[in-house]
Amino acid sequence: PNATQPLMYQKIKNHITPREIYAQKLEKEGVIKSGYAKQLVIDYRDALDNGECVVKEWEKTEKVNMHWAKYLKHDWDEPYVAKFSKKRLIELAKSICAYPENHEAQGRVKKIYTGRQLMAKGEKPCDW
């Protein structure tokens, strides 16, 4: 996605997270003290780094738990036909690499598509 939308992904990368936005809102409203949310993150990270349990309490409920018996001791290797003709593969590869001639593709996208077109022709090793 970054190859096709570099400006959008740069903006997303530089945008503060929802957690940070909410923490700022709570600080502004006086619900929490300044720096409290940041300290929670630090404490949580430290607990993970030290191998501590970060789930304070586990409550077993039937709503969450699942009965797995019907999935156990089951033969999941059911036969199926996996044939796919080379001709059809090449047709599909060509069609998904095509875009209108009057469309100017972004540089990196154009390079990817050109490479895939060469792969479809057998002129470049497959690296899909």
Among candidate residues 46, 47, 23, 45, the one with its CA nearest the CA of residue 36: 23
Question: Residues with Cβ < 8 Å from 19, sequence gap 6 or more?
Answer: 37, 41
Question: pTM score, two decimals?
Answer: 0.44
pLDDT, one tens digit per residue, over 49-103 is 999 988 877 776 666 677 778 888 888 888 888 888 989 988 898 888 888 889 8
Domain ranges of the chain: 13-55, 82-128
The pair of three-digit structure tokens given for residue 1, joined into one six-digit string: 């996605």
